[in-house]
Amino acid sequence: MSTRPQTLTFDTSTSRANPTPQPMKRLTVPRIRQRKGGEPLVMLTAYTVRMAQLLDPHCDMLLVGDSLGQVIYGLPHTVAVTMEMMAAHGAAVVRGSYHAAVIVDMPFGSYEASPELAFANAAHLLKETGAAAVKIEGGRVLAPTVEFLTSRGIPVMAHVGLTPQAVNILGGYGVRGKSPEEAKSIVEDAVAMSEAGAFSMVIEGVLEPIAIEITNKIACPTIGIGASAQCDGQVLVTEDMLGLFDRVPKFVKKFGNMGASVEDAVREYASGVRDRSFPGPDQLYQPA
């Protein structure tokens, strides 16, 4: 049976003092785990309050991805993203949502050195944001860290395959798993992270048979991005799927053309300013 709540009309104020509309309740980590093999999970990225408000009624999870480094800040990659960035944007997304579980990326350098460092930083992010879980990129070498976190009350979403934080090692963002050896390694990474206690797993940029094998082999739900429709769910960068960027990865389908719509609106505004038709009578205050 579907766990998606009824569509409701509710106050979109971002104040957490406002009561959560009933019967709408935020999706929990255990309920996400229970969706393995069931109704596909819908996840999109969100970095701001307003985008979270728009996405929340339609998504099971909102990912505050370190992709904000490129999407919001214009950075060349995600490596330069900081804890402060993730905390600020994560808190904004939590304030703007009621239904979806909010997952926050652990930025590069915040978890690799030791399980203890990972716990301190993950705990900080959850305290600062109110998010449900954190996401960690990597495979077998980080399985002990995932076990350390989950055994101490911090839910972890894993991320295998193409891991953008490792761009300097990988040499780019190309598809992973082309060789039998690499394909085997990715599957082993996924199994290790699942067995360590990850409640779900992003599989990015791999050959489809690898994603299908992982989905069939591990206990937690898989979330595909450039992987397979047979995964237990899907995620995309929202700005990519809305058509706000001209150049997008191969695995992106543009479900909108918002870039052109924004340009049209700005062009009309600029024209109105230049010919003095804006502001007009409806936008001005006149003496009584």
Residues that constitute the known binding site: 66-67, 105, 135, 137
d(C-alpha 241, C-alpha 248), whole Å: 9
What's the token pair of residue 192? 């290790």
Q: Are 208 and 15 in contact (CB under 8 A)?
A: no
d(CA 132, CA 80): 24
Distances 181 to 138, 214, 215, 235 between C-alpha atoms, Å: 17, 15, 19, 27
Closest CA to 215 of 38, 13, 9: 38
Q: In whole angstroms, what is the distance from residue 44 CA to residue 75 CA?
A: 20
| Annotated active-site residue in 181, 182, 204, 213 | 204
Asked if residue 154 lies in contact with residue 127, where contact means CB atoms within 8 angstroms, the answer is: no
Q: Detail the residues annotated as belonging to a binding site for Mg(2+).
A: 66, 105, 137
Six-digit token pair at 124?
């900080």
CA 49 vs. chain centroid, Å, equals 14
Give yes or no: 116 in active site. Answer: no
Q: Which positions are catalytic?
A: 204
